[in-house]
Structure 1
Amino acid sequence: MATMAQSHGGDGGDDGYGGPYNLESGCASGSTSQKRRSKGKNLKLYKKFEENGRKPLDIDVELHGGGYKFVGPNATDFIRAISLEVEKVVPPYYPNWAKVPNEKKQAVYPTILEYFNLDAWRNTEKWQGVQLGITAECQRAYKDRKGEMKVHFDENGGYDDVEAARSNPPQDVDQETWDILINQLFLSAGYKNRSEKNKQNRAKQRYPSFHGSKSYAQRRHMEGTGPIDVFRSTHYKEGTGWANDFASTDYDRIQEEYTISSAESGGDTSTIDEFACMERALGHRRGHIRGVGRVYEEETKRL
C-alpha cells in the first residue's frame, strides 16, 4: 500500500491541497463503492475507453516546477472524470476537502482506476507525487462545485432573502442536501469571512490569461516549451499585445532573471532552471507560482 504524503488541507485562500489518502494497490481504492462509468456526462471518455480495447488510458505527469501535473492527450479526460466523480459521490456541504470523510474521498477512485492506467506509476518514485496531484484535482473540483452552489444561492435570494434561496435548490441537488449546505456552510460566520477574503483576492488579480481551460502544465506539454515561453504565449497575442501593462512588466522581470541566470551559468542556457526564474521574478505564495501553476511545499515534496 502506498500512503499519500500529508498536505495542508482546505479549499479557500492559502489553505493548501487537503487530506492524506491510502490508495491501495491493484484496481481497488479501498472503497466498497461499485465502479461508476459516468456515461451520461463523459461520453467522450467512454468512447476513448472502448476504442482502446477497454483498457485503461495512459496518463502523463509533468514533474518540473515543484508539482505533479497531469498532461498529455488523456489529461483533460482524467481531470474531468475526477471532477464528475467528486460531484457525484461527495456532498457539497463540508467546509473543505480536508474535512470530507475518508470513505467519501475513497469513493472517487473506483472509476478513475478503471478508466486510467495509474498502475503504471505504482512502485515508482513518482507514485506519491501522482497521488498528490489527484488530491489537488479533487480539492479543486470540490471547491469549484461549492462555488457553483454559492452562485446559485446568491442568484436566488442570497443573504437578502435566505428563504427564497432555500426554496430554490439547484436542479441536481436534493432539498435536504441544499438545506444542510445553507445552514452549516453558507450561513456560518467562518464561510462568510473566507468568501469575503476570496473576493478581495480575486480583485487583486494582476492580469487575465489567454490559456483557456488548459493548465499551464498542459500548455507546456503541448507546445514543448518551458514556462517562460508559455507565460508569453498565454499573456500576449500577436496584433493585440500584452493582456495589460502588468503582464508586460512581469515578463520583463522574468527576462531579467533569465539574463542573470545565463550570466551565472557562463552562457550555458541548458542548465538554467526556468521555473526558478519564474519564482524569483513573480514570487511564490503557498501552493502556487504565478504563471507556473500549483506547486507543493518542501514538506510535501519529500516523497
Structure 2
Amino acid sequence: MEAMDYDVVILGCGPGGLQAAVHAARRKVRVLVLGRPGASSLARAHVENYLCVPGKAPGEELLRIGREQAAAFGADFREEDVVRMEGPTEAGGFRLDLEGGETVLATAVVVATGVQRRGLGLKGEKDLVGRGLSYCVDCDANFYRGRRVAVAGDGSAAAHGALTLSRIAAEVHLVTREPATSPKLLERLGEAGVRVLTGRGVAELVSDEQGLRGIRLDDGTELELDGLFVETGAKGAMELVSVLGVEMDPEKFTYIVTNKNQATNIPGIFACGDICGPPFQMAKAVGEGCVAGLAAADHVRKRRQEAGGGDP
C-alpha cells in the first residue's frame, strides 16, 4: 500500500490543531489533520470567556466552523487516529501508521492531542498497577505472553492494543461501551480472534494478595484474567512521541516541553494546546496553534531549501 505524503500532519482537531491547520495551510504547504472532532474536550463544552465570542457559544459549533476554515485554506482531514510514529528518517521526516492500516509520511508533525484522564476510577485501581493492571500495551504486553488479558477502552488505542495482544496473549477481550475506531480495525480484531464485548464497561476489579485475578462488568459478566490494560481515547501523546525522544515534563511526564516557537527538542515535531500544560484554556490552545502552524510550515520551507527544491 503506497504511503500518503504530506508536508505537515497535525494530530488532533481541537482548537489548537485547527488553528495550526489554518496557519500552515495558508503558507501553501500540504496539511493533513488527523483525529475525531468529538474527541476534543471543547466538543462537549460551551465557551463564554473567549475574546470576540459573545454570550455562551457551543464548542461543537466552534469546532465545525474551525474545520471549515482550515479546509477552505486547503487542509485535508481524516477521522482516524495514529497508532505508531517512527522517525526522524534519514530524510528528516516522520512515518505515521493509522488505525486503518494506512501510512502517512510527513516532513513536520504538530501534536495537538490534548490530555486524557486514563484511569477507570475504580476501588483498588492504584494498588494493582504493575500487579496485573497496566496503562500501556506497548510497554507491558510481553509480560502476558500466553496469558489471559483484557483491554478496556473505546478509542483506537484500545482496539489497536487488543490487536497487538492477540499476537502475544492466549486469550484477549476488548471491553468497550462504543468502539470509536474504524470498521477496518474492528474487522481485523475479529480475524485475530479478539472477543469484543460492546455496550459494557468495567465495574469492579477482582484481586487477591497476588494481584489482579479478573474483572466484573457492569452487566454482571465476570472474566478471569491475568492482566487488564486500560487504554482510553486515542493513542496518547506520551506513547506516540516519547519513543522518538521528545522531551516531556520531568515531574509528571504528562506534558510536552516546547520553546517559544512551539518546537520540541526533536526537529520537525511541534506541539500546542493542553498537551503543553496548563492553563487548559481555548485562548492558549489557539495562540499556541497559530505559532505551531507557522513554525511547522517554516520548517518545511527550510527542509525544501536544504534539499535544493526551492521555496514551497
Q: What TM-score does the superposition give when structure 1 sets the normalisation length?
A: 0.27
Higher helix share: 1
Higher normalized strand content (fraction of residues):
2
